[in-house]
Amino acid sequence: MTKIIVRTNPNLALIKYWGKRDEALMLPTKSSLSVGLNALTTETIITQAEDRDHIKLTFSHSVEAVQKIQSFINLFRTTYGVKNYFSISSSNDFPTAAGLASSSSGFAALALGLATASNLNLDDRQLSILARRGSGSAARSIAGGIVIWHKGQLPDGTDCYAEQLFDQHHWPELRILIIIVNDNEKKISSRDAMRLTVATSPSYQNWVASSEDRLEEMITAIKAKDFTSVGKLAEQDWYGMHDAMRDTTPSLDYWTSTSYTVIETVKQLRAQGHNCFFTTDAGPNVFVCCHKDNVAIIKQTLASLPGVLGSIESTVAGKPTVTTL
C-alpha cells in the first residue's frame, strides 16, 4: 500500500489576515504577507482506506477538529470527483491551537497529501486554493518562503491564492524567535473571532485600508532587506489588528500579562540598539524577529522574564516536502 508523508510548516503573517469577505469560500477581506517558520513542522501520513475515512490526530482529541478535517476531505472528493477513502494520521511538533498557526500547516499538508494520494497533478496555485478551503492561512503554507496571499476580486475565489515572493534563501540572516508564554488551546477560535471583528469592530475597515497600503511598502522593504522598515510596518499592522480586536463586541484579547511584558521588553531591547521587532497571531505567544547576530542577547533576556515557558528559534521555511513509500 502506498504511503504519502507530507511535511509542512506554519507561517507567520507580518501583514495580517483577519476577516473574510466570503465565509464559505474562505476569501479574505484583504491581502496578506507571511514568512514560513522552519522550526515548526506538521507531519501528515496518508494511505488509501477500504470503506471509510480514518482520522488520527496526535495533537487533539477534539471532535470538532476531526469534523473539520472530515468536512475538508468530503469537499476534496466532491471538487475533484475522487471516490477513494483515506487513512490519515497527523502530528505537530509544536503546541496546537495556541496561536502558532497550526491550522496553516495542518490543512496545507492535508491538501497536498490528498492530491498526491489521488494522483492529481495540481500546481501550487491550485493547491493553495484547495488548502484555503480548510483554513485561510493554509493557502500561504503551500508556497514556502516569504509569501503574498492575493485576496482576489472574483466571487468564485479562483484568483484568491498565495504566491512565493522570495524563497527561504533570500534573507539568511533573518531569525524568528517564538516566545512561548502559554501552550494551552485558546478559548475562542480564530475563525469565530474574525467573524465577530468583521461584524462589530468600528475600527476594522480603517485597519483593512491602511494594511493594504502597508503591503506594497513591506514587499519593497523585504526585497531590500531593510530590517528597520520591515519591523516598523509589521508592528503598525499588529497594532491596527489588535485595536480592531479590542473594540470588537465582545472584546477580544488573546494576550496575557506575560505577552505584554515580552512586547515591552522587545521595545526596550530595540532602544538599547538590538534591532528586533514583535508581532503575534491570535494567541498569547509572541514572535520576535531579529538578525542572527542579535539572537543570543534577545533570547537570553526574554527567557529570563517571569512567565516565559521557553523559546524556539526559527529560520525561514522552504516549500513543503512529499515522500512516497
pLDDT at 183 over 80: no
- Residue 185's pLDDT band, with cuts at 50, 70 and 90, is confident
- The pLDDT score that the predictor gives to residue 318 is 97
Mean per-residue pLDDT, 34-60: 94
234 closest CA partner among 292, 273, 206, 276:
276
Cβ neighbours of residue 64 closer than 8 Å, sequence gap 6 or more: none
57 grid coordinates: 490526530
Question: How far is Cα 217 from Cα 179, in angstroms, rounded to an integer?
Answer: 27
Examine the pLDDT at 311 and tell me if it is beyond 80: yes
Give pLDDT, residue 322: 98
Which DSSP letter does residue 115 get? H
Q: In the structure, what pLDDT confidence band is assigned to residue 186 with cuts at 50, 70 and 90?
A: confident
pLDDT higher than threshold 80 for residue 101 = no
pLDDT band for position 194 (cuts 50, 70, 90)? very high
Report yes or no: 315 and 295 within 8 Å, Cβ to Cβ.
no
- The 10s digit of each residue's pLDDT in 137-153 is 999 999 999 999 999 99
- pLDDT at residue 59 is higher than 80: no
> Does the pLDDT of residue 98 top 70, yes or no?
no
pLDDT, tens only, 209-222: 999 999 999 999 99
Output the pLDDT for position 10: 95
pLDDT of residue 95: 73
Do 193 and 245 meet the contact criterion of CB atoms below 8 Å apart? yes
Residue owning grid cell 497536498:
112
Average pLDDT value for residue range 89-106: 81
pLDDT at 97 over 90: no
What average pLDDT score do residues 238-255 get? 96
Q: How many residues does the chain have?
A: 325
According to the model, what pLDDT value does residue 204 have? 98
Question: Which domains does the chain possess?
Answer: 4-167 (3.30.230.10), 174-314 (3.30.70.890)
Q: What is the pTM of this model?
A: 0.95
Residue 282 has pLDDT above 80, yes or no: yes
Residue 228, pLDDT above cutoff 90: yes
State the pLDDT at residue 184.
75
Residues 181 and 284: beta-carbon distance below 8 Å: yes
Please give the pLDDT value at position 8. Answer: 97
Mean of pLDDT values over 289-305:
96
pLDDT at 313 over 80: yes
* Residue 226, SS3 per DSSP: coil
Q: How far apart are CA 240 and CA 74, in angstroms?
A: 37
pLDDT tens for each residue of 63-78:
888 999 999 999 999 9
Task: With a cut of 70, say whether residue 96 has pLDDT above it.
Answer: no
Helices (H), the chain: 63-80, 102-117, 124-132, 138-141, 190-200, 204-223, 227-246, 257-271, 295-303
Q: Find out whether 91 and 58 touch, Cβ atoms under 8 Å.
A: yes
φ, ψ (nearest 5 deg) of residue 243: -65, -40
The single-letter code of the amino acid at 184 is N
